[in-house]
Structure 1
Amino acid sequence: MRYGYYLTEKKGPDPIGALRDQIAEAAADGFTSAWLSNIFGLDALTTLAVAGSQTPGIELGTAVVPTYPRHPAVLAQQAMTANAALGGRLALGIGPSHQMVIENMYGYSFDRPGRHMKEYLDILLPASRGEHVTYTGETLKADLTLTTPGAGFPVLIAALGPRMLKLAGTVADGTVLWMTGPKTVAEHIAPTINAAAAEAGRPAPRIVCSLPVCVTDDPGAAVSRANEIFEVYGRLPSYRAMLDREGAATPGDVAIVGDEKSVLGKLEELERAGVTDFVCSVFANKERTRNLLIGAAKG
């Protein structure tokens, strides 16, 4: 299992410079990848292209770029540009986001996200390889060829339900998970996506799993703190469904907390479940937690 690091957007006069330092530090510490969310702050692709271009070697991923507000060819062009700036180190994580965001905030319809994602990938994937795309779906159309440099990078879907997981296994390169514990990965995520890839004759897909992590001698307090920070994810339907599968009442119940031995045991459980890349979201006791994760990343 490879180890990645979740980047944190900082407030201040130079947020991109702060992320540049985080990426360089993650690379120096032995993490194989660094990931940035795309919510309402910095644009993740633009930021990674700028902040990550000076640190070679480490993969840089988005977790994740919402699809509905962007035509797939436009996102392909932006991702190819970022990948060119990064020398071919981009991992493009995409997802439909959530109904409350897409409909209530952006004003788009969130109707049938599974259909939307299939049509989106039907355009995005060939366009991002520099191929000519002629496509007419129920909701999306394209007839173009991109000449943008930077073609060819892994595309991962924020796939949690069966239909999305099958798409992630049959046409994309894997899935990016959040708030999804080891039981759910072992019993639902990994079997579904791996079976889809095998049936399609494709290589085993990546399962990129990110969870909150804290090394501590007071796990109860850490769980309470995680519930404060990540409370909203317990109310979003897609994540709520994964928490319910896990038997977790709150987001804090899937956080990886405990002393060094306990945390290492939980990381090993994720690897046995089928996680290929674990992305650490360190939320408390940062120095102690990061030291353990650095050791795990270096093997």
Structure 2
Amino acid sequence: MRFGLLINEPQGDDPLAELSDRIAQAADDGFDSAWMSNIFGLDALTALAVAGSRAGGGIELGTGVVPTYPRHPAVLAQQAMTVNAALGGRLALGIGLSHKLVIEDMFGYSYDRPARHMKEYLEILLPATRGEQVSYSGETLSANVRLGTPGAGLPVLVAALGPRMLKLAGTVADGTVLWMTGHKTVAGHIAPTINAAAEEAGRERPRIVCTLPVCVTDDTAAARARANEIFEVYGKLPSYRAMLDREGAEGPGDVAIIGDEDSVREQIEALAPAGVTDFVAAVYGDRERARQVLLGASKG
């Protein structure tokens, strides 16, 4: 199992410089990857191109995830390939549908039949990122283009939680990026579904990038309450709520990895047998204490 960090955007006066420092520290520590969300702050791809180029090193840099609806797939392919070239081939492009609350209520796009949207999106995005000619006309998306952009051949991971999306990710993409999904749900739902789809399509076993909050503490109850407060919105969004319900979790704090050093290490070690190929820690609380545990687990 590979280890990564969710670095996300800093809040200081020079966020790109601080982001670069975080990437450099993660690389120096020996982490395999660093990931950045794309919500309402910095554009993740642009930020990773700038900060990642400054930081250097061989660490993989991923987006977790870029929403698809506001970007034509050929345009996103061009941007991602450019970033991949700037990073020397270290980009992992994570994409996702986002949520009806964002896509329909904020941006004004239709969120009707999201699985159809993603299928059509990938029909254009995937060959475009390989530098191939794309001639495709779907119900909602079309393209007739061939990109000459450098940086072709990057991995594309799809945020997938439901059966249809997991099957799609396993059949055509390089894997999935998860958030707020506990190890029991990965073992009983995510891994079997996506792996079976890949096997049926004659493809290699896909990556399962599992991102979870992590807090190393002696006060588990307080840390769990804090997780429920920080990540409250994810307990209400339908897609994540469905995963929490599968896990038997009341709220985000119930899937967060919380406890003292030994407990956190044991919880992380349980992820690999569940099917996780890449664990990404979203650290809150005592960052240095968590860093030491993660470093030990990654080398263990």
TM-score (norm 2): 0.99
Give the Cα–Cα distance (whole angstroms) in 2 for the partners of residues 146 and 132 of structure 1: 8
- What residue number does 2:188 align with? 187
- What residue number does 1:294 align with? 295
The amino acid that maps onto 1:29 is D
- What residue number does 2:11 align with? 11
The alignment partner of 1:53 has SS state of helix
Give the Cα–Cα distance (whole angstroms) in 2 for the partners of residues 8 and 139 of structure 1: 32
- What residue number does 1:127 align with? 128
- What residue number does 1:36 align with? 36
- Long gaps (5+) in structure 1: none
Deviation at 1:66, TM superposition (A): 0.1
The alignment partner of 2:88 has SS state of coil
- What residue number does 2:230 align with? 229
Give the Cα–Cα distance (whole angstroms) in 2 for the partners of residues 6 and 297 of structure 1: 15
Give the Cα–Cα distance (whole angstroms) in 1 for the partners of residues 174 and 8 of structure 2: 25
Deviation at 1:118, TM superposition (A): 0.2
Deviations 1:264-293 (A, max 9, x none): 111111111000000000011111111110
- Aligned CA RMSD, in angstroms, stands at 0.6
Give the Cα–Cα distance (whole angstroms) in 2 for the partners of residues 26 and 296 of structure 1: 14
- What residue number does 2:147 align with? 146
Deviation at 1:298, TM superposition (A): 2.4
The amino acid that maps onto 2:9 is E
In the TM superposition, 1:89-108 aligns within 5 A as 89-108=90-109
Runs of 4+ in structure 1 over 3 Å off: none
In the TM superposition, 1:122-271 aligns within 5 A as 122-271=123-272
Identity of aligned residues (%): 75
The alignment partner of 2:53 has SS state of coil
Give the Cα–Cα distance (whole angstroms) in 2 for the partners of residues 121 and 273 of structure 1: 27
- What residue number does 2:63 align with? 62
Give the Cα–Cα distance (whole angstroms) in 2 for the partners of residues 5 and 282 of structure 1: 8
Give the Cα–Cα distance (whole angstroms) in 1 for the partners of residues 77 and 229 of structure 2: 36
- Long gaps (5+) in structure 2: none
Deviation at 1:8, TM superposition (A): 2.8
Q: Say whether residues 1:2 and 2:2 are aligned partners.
A: yes
Give the Cα–Cα distance (whole angstroms) in 1 for the partners of residues 11 and 297 of structure 2: 29
The amino acid that maps onto 2:86 is A
Give the Cα–Cα distance (whole angstroms) in 2 for the partners of residues 8 and 74 of structure 1: 23
- What residue number does 2:87 align with? 86
The alignment partner of 1:130 has SS state of coil
TM-score (norm 1): 0.99
